[in-house]
């Protein structure tokens, strides 16, 4: 598919994506020609969103950018869960937002607004585009009640003291999506059983407030006062924004067995269609010492955790792109710091080329440049192979066969999906007159002090550290300076 961008028509190969339902990489075939709808499971705003949550956002952002670069008109929807998500993925416990309010003494509005804004700010800091729509579950209560009424009218529900439940026995395909063994669910702990449920897999559509209890968030319904189940929220918000069926639905692999399986069941029964979603895309975990990043595991690693260590949040974006989204990715601060070093090097080379040609992105169209351009987009069209694409971008930055015009043309084109903001990066200059940031200047001054004190071991160590960060020290008659390596 051809897309116009950066004064050059770029031919992007047909996009293929991995579909969880079909367990295969398949062609992306939009429901409406030239358009693509993406629904991404967003945050439950009862606390800080950790770096594992940011990996979910980065994956969806990469997908959106690739589709837009290919010329599709994309509508990207990310929901805000501000009610209904229980302490576990089962049907027991307290609503997470309600529990947070009770624990801190804050109002629900204060908690949800604070953590929603933190999530939005962190998305921007790691280079994510703003979603086109960002609906809140509490703004769609009427729609959720209506979906439950529809399911009830079609014979898919039953009511017990605890609430209204979806009867999975009425949906023969229930186990197919995740390859579940329904007879083994209770034993494996996938779902905790609630008294009077017909089957452990049955899930709550509407939870009833117990007699004598007043909740901070509850609404009247045909079945009594209560609040919606977590799963029904996403079906309603996705349908309100994108209609049905949906092109692409994204989320973490931890959603496959419960949340997304339940979304499929209620949606396909309510809308009388199959499949409800054409392509399901799931990203793997961020791994810390053999465990996924999770608040429940005490891994409250957030974007500010990087900033506190002097790491640019965009280094986490570079770090994410170094692994395929369907692979688990081991996390350490050292690995993200190394990604930050690689990002600085890429930026230095890009800005030097950009400033040499005055920002002109037309390039020369040389055979070598167009070969690399084609390889880059082919990698991303192949199920978002970001590691391969990033390696090509790194090659372009250092390729001695390419002039500055072609290097900048390519890197500016690539940055539409890489998302590093290369066009707006501050000028670093090139050669002996390079303008450097305060950190590099301070390290250069430390080296001079060490040399003056004849501490040559320290001076050499600082030289090596700057080299590792992509800076070469040049000793001149007027003193040392640096230039990009």
Q: What is the mean pLDDT of residues 173-191?
A: 74
d(CA 358, CA 377): 25
d(CA 328, CA 380): 19
Q: What is the pLDDT of residues 337-382, one digit of tens each?
A: 999 999 999 999 999 999 999 999 999 999 999 999 999 999 999 9
- Domains annotated on the chain, with CATH: 31-283 (3.40.50.620), 303-424 (1.20.120), 431-484 (no CATH)
C-alpha R_g of the chain: 26
103: which residues sit within 8 A by CB, 6+ positions away?
none
Q: What is the pLDDT of residues 198-230, one digit of tens each?
A: 999 999 999 999 998 888 889 999 999 999 998
Q: What is the pLDDT of residues 25-40, one digit of tens each?
A: 999 999 999 999 999 9
CA distances from 109 to 120, 280, 368 (A): 16, 32, 56
d(CA 317, CA 59): 10
pLDDT at residue 9 greater than cutoff 90: no
d(CA 271, CA 17): 25
pLDDT for position 361: 95
Beta-bridge partners for 473 = 482
- The reported pTM is 0.85
pLDDT at residue 188 greater than cutoff 90: no
pLDDT for position 290: 62
- What is the band of 92 on the pLDDT scale with cuts at 50, 70, 90? low
Q: What is the pLDDT of residues 221-279, one digit of tens each?
A: 999 999 999 899 999 999 999 999 999 999 999 999 999 999 999 999 999 999 999 99
Beta-bridge partners for 394 = none
CA atoms within 13 A on the CB side of 288: 15
pLDDT at residue 2 greater than cutoff 60: no
What percentage of the chain carries pLDDT values higher than 70? 87
């Amino acid at each position: 598919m051809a897309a116009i961008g950066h004064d050059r028509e770029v031919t992007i190969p047909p996009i293929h994506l991995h579909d969880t339902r079909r367990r295969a990489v398949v062609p992306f075939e939009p429901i409406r020609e030239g358009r693509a709808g993406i629904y991404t499971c967003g945050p439950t705003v009862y606390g800080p969103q950790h770096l594992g949550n940011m990996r979910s956002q980065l994956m969806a952002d990469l997908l959106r950018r690739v589709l837009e670069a290919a010329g599709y008109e994309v509508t990207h929807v990310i929901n805000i869960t501000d009610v209904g998500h229980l302490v576990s993925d089962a049907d027991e416990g307290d609503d997470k937002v309600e529990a947070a309010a009770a624990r801190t003494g804050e109002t629900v509005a204060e908690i949800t607004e604070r953590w929603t804004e933190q999530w939005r700010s962190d998305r921007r800091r790691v280079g994510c585009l703003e979603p086109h729509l960002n609906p809140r579950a509490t703004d769609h209560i009427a729609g959720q009640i209506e979906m439950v009424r529809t399911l009830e009218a079609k014979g898919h529900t039953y009511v017990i003291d605890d609430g209204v439940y979806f009867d999975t026995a009425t949906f023969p395909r229930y186990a197919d999506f995740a390859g579940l063994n329904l007879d083994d669910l209770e034993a494996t702990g996938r779902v905790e059983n609630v008294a009077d449920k017909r089957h452990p897999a049955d899930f709550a559509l509407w939870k009833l407030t117990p007699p004598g209890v007043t909740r901070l968030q509850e609404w009247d319904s045909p079945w009594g006062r209560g609040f919606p189940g977590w799963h029904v929220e996403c079906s309603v918000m996705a349908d309100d924004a994108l209609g049905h069926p949906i092109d692409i639905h994204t989320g973490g692999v931890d959603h496959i067995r419960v949340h997304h399986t339940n979304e499929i069941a209620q949606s396909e029964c309510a809308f009388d269609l199959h499949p409800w979603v054409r392509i399901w895309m799931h990203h793997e975990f961020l791994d810390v010492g053999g465990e996924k990043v999770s608040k429940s595991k005490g891994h409250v690693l957030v974007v500010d955790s990087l900033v506190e260590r002097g790491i640019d949040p965009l280094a986490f974006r570079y770090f994410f792109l170094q692994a395929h989204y369907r692979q688990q990715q081991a996390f350490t601060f050292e690995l993200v710091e190394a990604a930050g070093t690689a990002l600085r090097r890429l930026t230095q080379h890009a800005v030097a080329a950009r400033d040499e040609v005055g920002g002109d992105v037309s390039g020369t169209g040389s055979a070598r440049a167009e070969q690399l351009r084609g390889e880059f987009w082919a990698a991303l069209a192949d199920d978002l192979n970001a590691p391969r694409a990033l390696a090509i971008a790194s090659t372009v930055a250092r390729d001695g066969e390419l002039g500055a015009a072609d290097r900048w043309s390519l890197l500016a084109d690539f940055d539409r999906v890489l998302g590093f903001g290369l066009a707006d990066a501050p000028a670093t200059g090139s050669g002996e007159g390079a303008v450097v940031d305060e950190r590099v200047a301070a390290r250069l001054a430390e080296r001079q002090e060490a040399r003056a004190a004849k501490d040559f071991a320290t001076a050499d160590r600082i030289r090596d550290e700057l080299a590792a960060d992509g800076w070469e020290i040049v000793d001149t008659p007027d003193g040392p300076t640096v230039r990009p390596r």
